[in-house]
C-alpha cells in the first residue's frame, strides 16, 4: 500500500538522505554477497547475520522515507519513489550514480521502461 505519492521535487529533496542510506546499503550488501561466495572464510559465519540485520534495517529506513529499493545484486542502488505524472501512477526512478531523480517508469515496465520526467515537472536547475 502506497502511503505517499512523491512529486519529482519531493523525491529530489529526500535524495541526500536516500543517497546516504543507499551508500550504506550497497557497502553492506556487497560485503554480504562476497561472504556468500566464500562461506568457509574465517569470520563469515559470525559476520553474515550482522550484515543481514543491517541490510534489513536500511531497507526499513528507505520504506519509512516512502521509497523502495530494487537492486538485489547490490550493483547500482536502484530506488523507486511512488508518484503520479499526468494522472497516471508511476515510479520515479533513481540510480545511485545519478545526480537527481529525473526518470520514471510505469510499475509494470520496470527499469527497462524508464522515460525522462517531463521538464515542466522538474525543479528549475541552478545555472
Query: What confidence tens digit (pLDDT) does each residue in 65-115 have?
Result: 999 999 999 999 999 999 999 999 999 999 999 999 999 999 999 999 999
Tell me the whole-structure pTM to 2 decimals: 0.89
Q: Is the pLDDT of residue 1 over 60?
A: no
Q: How do the domains of the chain map onto residue ranges?
A: 1-127
Q: Where are the beta strands (DSSP E) in the chain?
A: 68-69, 79-85, 88-94, 103-105, 115-116
Q: What is the DSSP letter of 92?
A: E
pLDDT at res. 108: 94
Render pLDDT for 28-48 as a digit per residue (tens, 0 to 9): 999 999 888 887 777 777 888
Checking if the pLDDT of 123 tops 90, the result is no
The answer, yes or no, to whether residue 125 has pLDDT greater than 90, is: no
Amino acid at each position: 500500500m502506497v502511503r505517499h505519492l512523491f512529486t519529482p521535487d519531493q523525491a529530489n529533496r529526500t535524495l541526500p538522505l536516500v543517497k546516504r542510506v543507499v551508500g550504506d546499503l550497497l557497502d553492506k550488501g556487497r560485503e554480504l554477497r562476497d561472504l556468500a561466495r566464500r562461506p568457509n572464510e574465517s569470520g563469515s559465519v559470525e559476520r553474515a547475520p550482522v550484515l543481514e540485520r543491517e541490510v534489513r534495517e536500511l531497507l526499513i529506513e528507505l520504506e519509512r522515507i516512502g521509497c523502495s529499493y530494487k537492486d538485489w545484486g547490490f550493483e547500482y542502488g536502484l530506488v523507486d519513489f511512488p508518484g503520479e505524472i499526468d494522472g497516471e501512477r508511476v515510479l520515479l526512478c533513481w540510480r545511485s550514480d545519478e545526480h537527481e531523480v529525473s526518470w520514471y517508469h510505469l510499475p509494470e515496465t520496470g527499469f527497462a521502461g524508464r522515460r525522462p520526467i517531463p521538464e515542466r515537472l522538474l525543479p528549475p536547475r541552478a545555472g
